[in-house]
A and B are shown apart, each in its own frame.
Chain A
Amino acid sequence: MLFGRNKKNPIKMADKQVKDWKYATCGYCSTGCSIEVGLNEEGKPVASRGVGGADVNRGKLCLKGIFEHELFDSDGRGTEPKIRGSFREDWQTTDWDTALDQTFADIRRVQEKYGRDSVAVISTGQMLTEEFYTLGKLTRGLIGTNNYDGNTTLCMASAVSGYKRSFGSDGPPGCYEDFDETSLLIAWGSNLPEQHPIIYWRMKEAQEKSGFPLIVVDPRVTMLAQNADRHLTITPGTDVVLMNSMMYVILDEGLEDRRYIEANTNGIEELEAEVAKYDPVTAAKICGIDEDSIRAVARQFAGAKTAMQIWTMGINQSTHGSDGVVGINNLALITGNIGIAGGTSLSITGQCNAMGTREWSSCSGLPNHRFLENAQDREDIAKFWNVDPEFFPKKRGMLQTDIYQAMELGQIKGLWLIATNPMTSLPNTARIRRAMEQLEFCVIQDCYADTESAQYGTVYLPAGTWAEKDGVMTNTERRINVVKPVVKPHGNSKPDLWIFNRMAERFNEEGKVNFSEKASDIFLEMGVLSEGRLSDNSGMTHALIEENRGIQWPYTKIQAENGEAPAKGGVRLYTEETTFRYADGKAKLIPLPFIDNNEVPDDRFPFWLNTGRLIEHWHGRTKTGKLGNNNKYSPIPFAEMSPDAAKELGVVAGDYIRLISRRSDAIVMAQLTHRVPKNMVFVPFHFHDCANRVVLGLLDPHSRQPAYKQSAVQIERIADQAGAAKMSMEMRKF
C-alpha cells in the first residue's frame, strides 16, 4: 500500500460557509421538489439541496435544482424599469412610477381607441399562485380584456381540455404514490427521465421494488423507451388510432369493467360504435404499431390489477392533443382505472406552476375552475371581488395561439407579456415576429431583460424571480407548496405581486376592489373561494404548507377544524363512485374519430421533425443558458439524425446542417444516432431562432395547443461550415 507523503498538508475541501438554509419549492418543472437554498454570512445564496423530509423529492434534486441558487444574479437579469417610444428606439432607464403610468396609459388609450379586447395579457406558468390570482382579478375585474391567457396553452392546454371533457373538470386525479401501487404503467409521449427526473426516480424506486411492466409509446428511443418492457414506436400524431384500437380489443374481447362503466360513465354505446372502426389490422397501417403488439398491450393493460397511464407533450403537443388525453381517460374509465391506488390517468405537467395558473389565474374563466359561461360563477366572483357581474364576458376569449393570429391581423394592438417569451416558444417564428412588429405598445414584465421578446417591448418591468418572492405553487400531483423569499429581488426589480398591485392601484380608481399586499393573506382569500369545490384548499395556510413540505388538494377547512392532519401523500380524486364533476356525477366516454391533418413527410420534405426537451435546459434557456454547469451539456442546438440518412446526404457527425421546412430554415449541428428512425430528426426546442423557425404548429381544435412535434423538413449539409458556426452563434446571445 502506497501512502505518499508522511507529513500531510491539511485536506482542503470547498466549504461554502453556509450559515442559513431557507425553504422554497423548485421553480423549474412541475414535479414540485422542496429545496433549501444556503446563504453565507453575507446573505449570498451559495448552495442548494433537496429537502430530506419532503415527500415529493425526499432529498433529491435534478441538475437544474442543484444549481438553482446561481439564478439570482445570473447574466441578463433586469435591474431597472425601462421605457421607449417604439421598439425601434433605444431604451431609457426610468423609475417605477413612470413605467407603470406609461403601461396604464397605453392600455387605457388602446382600449378606448380599439375596444376593450384589443389589448392582450399573456402570462405564464412560472409565477406564484397568489400572483396569478391577483393578475386574474386585475385583468378580469378591472382591465376587462377577454384576450387573457397564459403560455400554458403551449404545454398543458390539451391536458386541461381533455380532463374537462372526460371528467367535467380539470384536475389530475392521481398522485406519485400510484407508482408504488400500480401493476402496469403506460407512458404516452413522456420522456420521464429527461423531463421530470425526480418523478422518474420515484417511478424507478417503485419499479425496482414491485417490478411492474413499463410500456412506452414514443417515436424516439428515449432512455425510458430503451429500458421499457415494451416500446411502441408510433407514427407521429397517430396516438388516438392506437388508443381506439386498444379499446377495440378490450371491448371486443370483453376485457372491460362493465360494472364500473355502467355505474360511472355515459356514452359507452357511441364509443363502441366509433372504436369498432379501429380493428388492429386497420389501425396498424395508420399508427405503425403491428396488430399483434396492439392486441398484446391492450390485453396486458386490461388484465392488469391496476394500471396507470402518464403522458406529457407527446400527447399534448399534437393536433389530437385533447383527443389523446380523452383517449387515455377512456382507456382508464373502461377498465375502472380511475380514483384507485395505482390506477389513474396522470398528466405529467410542465411548468412549476402550470397547475396554479390552471386553478387560479382566471385565464380560462374565473378562479378555481369556475367558468365565465356559467352565470352563477360570474355572479359569485363579481360579488366576492366587488365588481359588476356584467363587466365579465359571458364566454372565454382567445387563447395565446389565437391571440397571436389576431395580432397578425391587427386586431390586437397592445400586449402585456408576463414571464414568457413567445419569440422563442411559439411555432413559426417569422409569423410571431410580424405579429409583434405591428403592436402599438408592448409591456415586457420579466425577471430577465434579455429575453428575445424584449426586443419588441416599449416598457420593461424588471420582475423578481422564483425565491425572491413569496407565495405558493401547485405541482403535478396537486400538491401546493410554498416559496419563501430567500433573497431580495435583484437590483431594483420587484416581485410580480408588487407590480400587479401597483398596476391595480391605477386601474382601481374608485378603490372598490380589494388587493392584499401579503401573499399569505391572498392565499386565505383564495381559500374562501375554494370552499366546497373540487380543488378545495381552505384548510391550508402558508405555515401549515411549509411545515408539511407541501399539501395535496383537497384539504378542507372542515378537515383542518376536525384536527385531521394533512396526508403525507397519496391523495386522489374521484375515489368515490359517481363523483365526477358532470352534473350526474358520471364521466363521459367520448368517441374519437381520427382525421390525419398533420404535415407528413413527402418527396420535397422527406423528414419528420420531432421537437422536445433536454434535461439540462429549461424552456427558452433564459435561465439555464447562463449557468455553465447546466448549459455545457448542450450549449448549441443540434439534431439527432440517423447515420443512414446522414450517409446519403454526405453529413458526418458534428457537421452543421440546415433544416428547411415550408416556413423557414434552422441551423443545427448533426448528432448521428440510431435513436431516431431514418426519416426523422429530433431537435431540442430550447434554442431561440432554431426549431420554432421551422415548426408548423397546427392547433388542436379543443385546446388550441400547437402541434410542435409533427412537421416535415428537408435537410442539407451546409457547404460553408465556418459560416454556419458563426450564423448559429449570432442567432442567440447566450
Chain B
Amino acid sequence: MFKVRQDEPQYAFLNDKESATHNRYGTPIDTVAEQSALRGESLNINADREVGENPNRYKQHGFFFTADNCIACHACEAACSEKNDNPPHIAFRSVGFVEGGTYPDYRRQNISMACNHCDDPVCLKGCPTRAYTKFAEYGAVLQDPDICFGCGYCTWVCPYNAPQLDPVKGQVTKCNMCVDRLEVGLKPACVSACLGKALEFGVVENKPEDRDQAKTNIPGFPDHNITHPNIRFQQTRTLNRDMVRVDSTPIKYHRDDDKGQYESEVDKNALRQRSWGIKTLLNSHENAHAIFTLCVQAVMGAFSLLLIGQLFSITGLAILPEISGFSYMLWVMVAIMGIGLFKLNMHLGKPHRFYRGFYNLRHSPVSREIAGVSAFFGGLKGVAFFSLFSGGWAVLLGALSAALAALGVMVGGYYMYKLYRIKARPFWDHWQTASSFVSTMLTLGALILAFFVLITGNMASLPLLGSVVVVGLLLEAVGLYQHSKDLKAGSGEGQASHYDQTTQFGKSYYLRNGLIVINVLMAIGLMFASDITVVLVIILSLSILVSAYLGRIIFYTVVIPTTMPGAFFWKNKGFVEHARESGLADMQQLGVAYEQHHAFDTVALVKTVKEVFAKS
C-alpha cells in the first residue's frame, strides 16, 4: 500500500461525504452492484495483494478543474511525471492554453488535462490488443503498456490526448488516476500538487468546497458527448469572444451567445502561405498507413474485379483467368499485399507482437480490420497457390479460398473504413473516407489488371478497365468535392483541416486535384483510343499512383483532432517538427523525441511461444 506520511496535509485527502446516485448522463455512479463479485478484490498494484479501504472505492471518480484559477505553473505535470517516473517527452498530464483580447484587455485560459476516465472509454473499445481495462475501482481506465503493441489507435480516438505514444519505447502509457494513492484515501499526485487552487478530484458530480458550477464545457475542451468524460469545470470569469490557440493549430473558440458556450472555428489569422508541405507529408508517422491502405485496397480491388467478372461473366474481366501467366499476376498481388502488411506491421512499436491485433474483435474496428485483411490475404494466397494446380480438388479449394478472400474484402474493407470514422477526428469522420477507399480499389485494382493485359497483349480488356478507372476517379472527385463542402460548414477542427490542406499543403492538394482531372481525361482516352500506346498506360499509371499517394498522405497528415490546446513550445506540433528538423531535438532535455523504427524482436516472440507451449 502507498505510505501515507504522518504530516500529510489535510488538502491531500479525499473528502467525499455524499454523492449522487447517477451522473448527468444517467449512468450510475456506483460502478458495480452491491453484490458484485468484482467487489472486494485487490487492485494488485505491483503484486501487492492488499485491498484498499477507501469507502468510495466503487464510485466513479473524476477531476474537477477551476479554469479561472489555473496559472500554468506546471506543478501538476511535474508531480505526475515525478511520481510516474516519466521521461521529458512523455506526459500523462499537460497544460496548454487559449488566449484572447487586445492588450491590456487580454485573458489567457490555461487548461490542465489528463485522462478523464470516461463513461464510454473509446480508447478501450478501439484498442485492438485489449490493453485497456475500466476498473470497478474508482471507474479508473487503466492501460497495460506490456500488452500494448504500439499501434497508436487509442491516441487517434481519444479526444483529450490522454494516451501517450512513446516513440522511444514503442508503446502507449497513460494516466493511472494514481489509484495507489486513492486506495489509502489520498488525492492523485497532480491534484495534491496544484498551486493555483485549480485542480480537484473526487466522486464525479461532487463539487469541491467553494465551487458552485460543475460544467462539462470550457473553451478548448472537446464535445463531452463523444465519451462522457468524468471531468467537471468551473469557469466564471468572462472570456473574450474569440479565444485562440497558439500551438500551430489554426483553431479558435468562438462564443456562441445563444448556446452560451464556445464552439471551435478555423482561425484564418494564422496567415498561412500556400506551400507544398512536402517534407512534412513525407515524414509523417502515418506513412506506413498510407502505403498499407493503398496496397491492400489495390489488391482487394483487383481481386474484386476478377471475382465480379467471373460471377457476372463480364467479358473483359472473365477472360483474364484464361490468359496464361494469370497465376503470376496472383502472386504479384500477394507480393503487393505483403509489402502493405509488412509496412503496417513494422510501423508498430512492437512489431513482433502483431498477433495481439486480434485480441479485441468484440469492440475494436482495428481488430476486425486486421482479421478481415488477414482472411483476405489467406484467401488470396490460397487462390494463388491452387491456381498452380489443375484438377477438380484444386478448383474446389481455389473456390473456397476465393470465398474466404471475398469475405475478407467485405469485412476487412468495411472495417478499414469504419476505423476512421472517429468522432474526435472530423476530417476522417465523413463518408468520403469510404468513397476514397472504394475509389482506390477501383482505380488501382483496375491498373493492376491493366498492366497484366498489357504485358500479355490482351488489349481488348483495356477499354473496360479504363472505364473502371474513370468511375473510380469520378467517385473520388465527387467525394472530395462534397468533403470540402461539408468540412467548411462543419466543426472547427474539420474547417481547420481543410484550411491546412488548402494552405500549408495547398500546392500538393491542388496538384492532386488537378491530377485527378487529368487522369480522368487520360483514362477516357484509354477507353476510346483505337491505338492504345503502352506509353499512355504507363503515364496514366504513374500519374494515378502519384495522385493516390499524395491524396493518402494528405489524408493522414492534415487531420486535426478535437483535442486539447497545447502551449507555445510544449505540445505544439509545429515546434516539435521544427525541433526534429533543425536538430534541436538532439538535446534530450528538450522533451522532443525522434520517431523511431522498432525491430522485430524474434527472441521475444520465440520466448512467448515457448511459454505458451510450456503452459499447455
Contacts and interface: CB of A to CB of B under 8 A. Distances in A.
Interface of A: 1-5, 8-16, 47-48, 51-53, 58-63, 66-67, 75, 193-194, 197-198, 200-201, 204-205, 208, 221, 223, 225-227, 231, 233, 615-616, 625-636, 638, 642-644, 652-654, 671-678, 722, 725-726, 729, 734
B108 A14 contact: no
A221 B569 CA distance: 20
Given A12-B146, A193-B71, A233 B193 contact: no
Contacts of A223: 71-72, 108, 110
Nearest to A729: B584
Contact of B73 (A15, A48, A75, A193): A193
Interface in B1-44: 5-9, 11-12, 27, 31-32, 38, 43-44
Nearest to A626: B589
B124 A678 contact: no
Interface stretch (B78-86, B520-528, B597-605): B78-86
Nearest to A673: B99
Main SS class of interface, A: loop
B193 to A, nearest CB: 7
Interface stretch (B126-134, B254-262, B429-437): B126-134
B46 interface: yes
B196 A58 contact: no
Given A2-B125, A14-B83, A628 B588 contact: yes
Contacts of A644: 102
Contacts of B88: 628-629, 631-632
Contacts of A11: 43-46, 142, 144, 176, 179
Given A59-B9, A635-B591, A653-B246, A201 B196 contact: yes
Interface stretch (B310-318, B406-414, B570-578): B570-578
Contacts of A62: 73, 75, 78, 195
Interface in B83-111: 83-89, 99-104, 106-108, 110
Contacts of B592: 632
B485 to A, nearest CB: 29
A226 to B, nearest CB: 6
A729 B79 CA distance: 29
Contacts of A634: 568-569
Nearest to B583: A729
B589 A734 contact: yes
A625 B588 CA distance: 11
Given A15-B46, A632-B590, 11 more contacts: A3-B38, A3-B133, A14-B84, A16-B85, A59-B12, A63-B74, A193-B196, A631-B88, A635-B587, A673-B108, A674-B101
Interface in B370-423: none
B64 to A, nearest CB: 15
B69 interface: yes
B265 interface: no
A625 to B, nearest CB: 7
30 contacts: A3-B134, A3-B135, A4-B130, A4-B134, A10-B45, A13-B45, A13-B176, A16-B85, A59-B11, A60-B75, A60-B193, A62-B78, A66-B82, A193-B71, A193-B195, A198-B195, A200-B71, A223-B71, A226-B107, A227-B68, A615-B74, A627-B589, A631-B591, A635-B587, A635-B590, A636-B569, A643-B269, A672-B246, A674-B101, A677-B104
Closest CB pairs A-B (n = 10) = A628-B88, A632-B591, A52-B7, A53-B7, A4-B133, A63-B78, A14-B85, A193-B71, A628-B589, A59-B9
A652 B195 contact: no
Contacts of B484: none
A698 B532 CA distance: 83
Given A11-B46, A628-B88, A47 B130 contact: no
Given A67-B82, A628-B589, A2 B124 contact: yes
A196 B73 CA distance: 10
Contacts of B479: none
Given A11-B43, A675-B108, A632 B569 contact: yes
Contacts of A51: 7
B8 A631 contact: no
A111 to B, nearest CB: 42
Nearest to A675: B106
Contacts of B125: 2
Contacts of A627: 589
B71 A671 contact: no
Main SS class of interface, B: loop
Q: How large is the interface on B (under 10, 10 to 19, 20 to 34, 35 or more residues)?
A: 35 or more
Contacts of B82: 47-48, 66-67, 629
B180 interface: yes
Contacts of A205: 197
B489 to A, nearest CB: 27
B319 to A, nearest CB: 52
Nearest to B589: A628
B106 A63 contact: no
A615 B77 CA distance: 13
A651 to B, nearest CB: 10
Contacts of B574: 654
B175 to A, nearest CB: 11
B103 A675 contact: yes
Interface string B118-152: 00110011000010111110000010111100000
A629 B78 contact: yes
A729 B583 CA distance: 9
Contacts of B568: 634, 638, 671
A632 B78 CA distance: 11
B192 interface: yes
Interface string B550-567: 000000000000000001
A59 to B, nearest CB: 4
Given A631-B591, A636-B584, A66 B144 contact: no
Given A2-B125, A632-B591, A654 B575 contact: yes
B248 interface: yes
Interface string B283-298: 0000000000000000
A672 B31 CA distance: 46
Given A5-B133, A9-B144, A197 B176 contact: no
B266 to A, nearest CB: 16
B611 interface: no
A177 to B, nearest CB: 17
Contacts of A615: 72-74
B569 A652 contact: no
Nearest to B127: A4
A629 B584 CA distance: 16
Most buried by B among A11, A12, A48, A674: A11
Contacts of A2: 120-121, 124-125, 134
B352 to A, nearest CB: 19
A210 to B, nearest CB: 12
A629 B583 CA distance: 19
Contacts of A725: 578, 582, 584
A5 B130 contact: yes
B495 to A, nearest CB: 19
A700 to B, nearest CB: 27
Interface in B53-80: 68-69, 71-75, 77-79
Nearest to A48: B82
A351 B77 CA distance: 24
Contacts of A616: 74
Nearest to B569: A634
A673 B97 CA distance: 12
A198 B73 CA distance: 10
A675 B240 CA distance: 13
Contacts of B130: 4-5
B612 interface: no
Most buried by B among A9, A12, A61: A12
